[in-house]
């Protein structure tokens, strides 16, 4: 009985790589590996049905994936040094898998976690596996199941020795940019790959919220889903600065009907989240990096979840009229706000690399994001000059040229319309506040806040007319009372 032995058919040749976890992502990636590398690929899942389904799927696509009924047989099928891609839910399931794997592996074997894992968990597991001589790495995989099957963007972190053992396979299965380059970035040691993927997802949150707000503004003017889809189709044409994966799928989503009703109109307006957006905001706060567009996008999801509160407070809204060219204003506002979202994400990556001594090449990260990933967009190549120079995107001459006066005026005009029409646009607004703050030589609000901190808490302050390393404190209320009593 071959099934009892584990594999659904005998195989003398040792597998060159294995995938542990054959859910949607694991099954897709295993078939991609078999197709792109020509390697013998082994697979294992606690569900034997998923293993058999993966073999059948591979056969339909003209390749072979051998799956096993026991973890020991799966590991035993792999040639040394063993290479295992782990695709199970993040958190405790990963620790449970590693606990079972550890006794079956040998020094020099490699385990690569391909899930959306907290980067510090990856670093802890790397240390734990290193005690047994096993190399452990984390890889952010973007592109969903379709990307996993046909070509994802891969953000890899961990020991360089592990990267060298895995790179041949990862380079083969990755998405290809228009110039043919594989969308793979070795981001550095430890959890660097997971961190880059986390920030990728933070930008994704921001981008999706910005698109959603553009859609909401269109609906506020009474436009139909088909009419809005046509706008997004225009933006996704070759050569348009907004051309991107998310704009593309938006245009197609808005065309879907159930009977005569746009299917999007039947979707409950509660947007979920899985944690990477929250992690991005937490890390930005920990490192003191402003990321207001990402934070606004996260808050918007939380507000959407408060459906009962919103229903209790809701007031009817009448269709609003935009006096100027709405499509042009939306286009310009989206371009400006998307640039701000990327500026925030790249600034966070730069700060994290400095704090953790990662030799992170931001230009290589941007190259990795050109295809395969969810945030792939034609704007990305414009950001590489700033990434190479280590400056904020808003200081890049290329980006400054894109943010012309007329575009900025349209952005401001659109937000004024949103306020009048009572359409919430937190991400578009946060992006503009970020942009205006970056361009302000003096932030008067910050000066007053620091004065208040010194007044009630003795936190001191610095003065413009003295060196910044010199601290001052004042008895603000006494001084105010003295001035009042003097009649000044």
| Selected catalytic residue, list 50, 126, 197, 278 | 197
* 152, 142 contact by CB (below 8 A): yes
DSSP label at 465?
T
**Phi, psi at residue 203, to the nearest 5°?**
-60, -40
270 is catalytic: no
| Selected catalytic residue, list 35, 55, 204, 283 | 204
Separation between Cα atoms, residue 159 and residue 155, nearest integer Å:
14
Separation between Cα atoms, residue 223 and residue 234, nearest integer Å:
16
DSSP string, 104-132: G--TT-EEEE-S---HHHHHHHHHHHHTT
The token pair that represents 273 in the structure block? 């989240």
Count other Cβ atoms within 10 Å, centred on residue 443: 11
β-strand pairing of 153-157 with 135-142: antiparallel
Beta-bridge mates of residue 153? 142
Q: Is the bond into 161 cis (omega within 30 degrees of 0)?
A: no
**Is the four-CA dihedral 278, 280, 284, 289 of positive or negative sign?**
negative
50 is catalytic: no
Which helix (H) or strand (E) segment holds residue 265: the answer is: none
- The angle subtended at Cα 85 by Cα 23 and Cα 49, nearest 5°, is 30
DSSP string, 352-411: HHHHHT----HHHHHHHTTSSSTT-BTTGGGGHHHHHHT--GGG-HHHHHHS-HHHHHHH
Cα 464 → chain centroid: 39
Specify burial of residue 77 (Cβ count, 10 A radius: 0-12, 13-18, 19+).
buried
* Active centre residues (catalytic): 197, 204
């Amino acid at each position: 009985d071959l099934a009892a032995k584990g594999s659904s058919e005998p195989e003398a040749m040792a597998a060159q790589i294995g995938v542990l976890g054959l859910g949607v992502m694991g099954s897709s990636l295993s078939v991609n590996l078999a197709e792109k590398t020509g390697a013998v690929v082994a697979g294992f899942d606690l569900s034997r049905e998923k293993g058999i389904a993966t073999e059948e799927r591979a056969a339909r696509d003209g390749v072979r994936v051998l799956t096993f009924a026991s973890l020991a047989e799966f590991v035993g099928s792999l040639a040394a040094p063993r290479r295992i891609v782990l695709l199970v839910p993040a958190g405790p399931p990963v620790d449970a898998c590693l606990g079972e794997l550890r006794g079956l592996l040998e020094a020099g074997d490699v385990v690569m976690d391909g899930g959306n894992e907290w980067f510090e968990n990856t670093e802890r597991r790397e240390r734990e596996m290193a005690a047994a001589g096993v190399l452990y790495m984390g890889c952010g995989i973007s592109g969903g199941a379709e990307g996993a099957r046909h070509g994802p963007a891969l953000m890899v972190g961990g020991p360089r020795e592990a990267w060298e053992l895995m790179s041949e396979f990862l380079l083969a299965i990755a998405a290809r940019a228009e110039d043919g380059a594989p969308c793979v970035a070795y981001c550095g040691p430890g959890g660097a790959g997971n961190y880059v993927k986390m920030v990728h997802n933070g930008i994704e949150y921001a981008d999706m919220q910005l698109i959603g707000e553009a859609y909401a503004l269109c609906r506020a003017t009474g436009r139909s889903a088909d009419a809005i889809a046509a706008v997004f189709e225009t933006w996704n044409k070759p050569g348009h600065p907004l051309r991107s994966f998310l704009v593309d799928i938006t245009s197609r989503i808005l065309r879907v009907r159930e009977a005569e009703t746009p299917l999007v109109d039947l979707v409950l307006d509660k947007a979920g989240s899985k944690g990477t957006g929250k992690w991005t905001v937490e890390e930005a706060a920990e490192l003191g990096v402003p990321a207001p567009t990402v934070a606004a996008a996260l808050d918007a999801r939380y507000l959407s979840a408060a459906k009962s509160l919103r229903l209790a407070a809701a007031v009817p809204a009448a269709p609003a009229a935009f006096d100027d060219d709405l499509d042009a204003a939306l286009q310009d506002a989206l371009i400006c706000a998307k640039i701000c979202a990327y500026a925030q994400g790249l600034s966070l990556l730069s700060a994290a690399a400095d704090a953790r001594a990662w030799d992170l090449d931001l230009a290589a990260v941007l190259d990795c994001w050109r295809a395969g990933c969810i945030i792939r967009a034609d704007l990305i190549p414009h950001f590489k000059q700033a990434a190479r120079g280590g400056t904020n995107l808003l200081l890049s001459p290329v980006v400054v040229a894109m943010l012309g006066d007329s575009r900025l005026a349209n952005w401001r005009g659109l937000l004024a319309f949103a306020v009048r029409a009572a359409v919430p646009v937190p991400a578009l607004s946060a992006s503009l506040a970020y942009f205006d703050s970056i361009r302000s030589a003096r932030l008067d609000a910050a000066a007053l806040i620091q004065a208040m901190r010194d007044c009630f808490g003795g936190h001191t302050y610095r003065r413009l007319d003295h060196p910044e390393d010199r601290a001052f404190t004042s008895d603000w209320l006494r001084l105010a009372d003295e001035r009042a009593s003097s009649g000044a």
